[in-house]
């Protein structure tokens, strides 16, 4: 019986070894799948990071262009303001020098011109359209207003 017992122990040991190898193979397969999934996630993260970097670079360039445009607009605004001040000073000098111009400048505006400058507060396109079609609209030269 000892030979039979040894054969059974050998078979049991072989079965246990086979189960152990099969279990290890299952662990290796799971680890390979986890590695493949981690590599896929890493690649996705790399792609997202590259896309985010491209977006950030684009936004940074756009911001730089916007700042440069704002700077140009401020410069132009300052130039226009200085030009307007020069023109206003020139008009005042001309008024002081020329009595005819001074007399013309102090006269009130004609009614038609004054109505052009007097506008109610308009909010929205519909209100503006209603104001334009109202009775206070300025009539054309070919169609004089009715008194």
pTM above 0.95, yes or no: no
In the block, tokens 């996630």 appear at: 41
In a domain, 59, yes or no: yes
State how many domains the chain has: 1
Q: Which string of b and e fits 37-74 if b means at least 16 CB within 10 Å?
A: eeeeeeeeeeeeeeeeeeeeeeeeeeeeeeeeeeeeee
Question: pLDDT tens for residues 83-106?
Answer: 999 999 998 888 888 888 788 888
In a domain, 26, yes or no: yes
Question: pLDDT tens for residues 35-50?
Answer: 999 999 999 999 999 9
Instruction: For residue 37, give its domain range.
Output: 2-82
pLDDT of residue 77: 97
In a domain, 87, yes or no: no
In a domain, 49, yes or no: yes
118 vs 42: CA distance, rounded Å: 67
Average the pLDDT over 105-129 and give the result.
80
147 vs 140: CA distance, rounded Å: 15
């Amino acid at each position: 019986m000892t030979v039979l017992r040894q054969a059974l122990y050998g078979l049991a040991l072989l079965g246990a070894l086979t189960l152990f190898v099969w279990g290890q193979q299952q662990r290796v397969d799971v680890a390979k799948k986890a590695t493949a999934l981690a590599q896929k996630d890493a690649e996705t993260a790399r792609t997202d990071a590259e896309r985010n970097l491209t977006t950030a670079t684009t936004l940074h360039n756009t911001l730089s262009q916007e700042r440069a445009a704002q700077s140009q607009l401020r410069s132009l605004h300052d130039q226009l303001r200085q030009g307007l001040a020069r023109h206003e000073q020139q008009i005042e000098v001309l008024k002081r020098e020329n009595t005819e111009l001074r007399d013309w400048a102090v006269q009130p505006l004609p009614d038609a011109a004054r109505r052009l400058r007097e506008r109610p507060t308009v909010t929205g396109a519909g209100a503006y359209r209603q104001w334009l079609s109202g009775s206070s609209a300025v009539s054309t030269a070919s169609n004089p207003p009715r008194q």
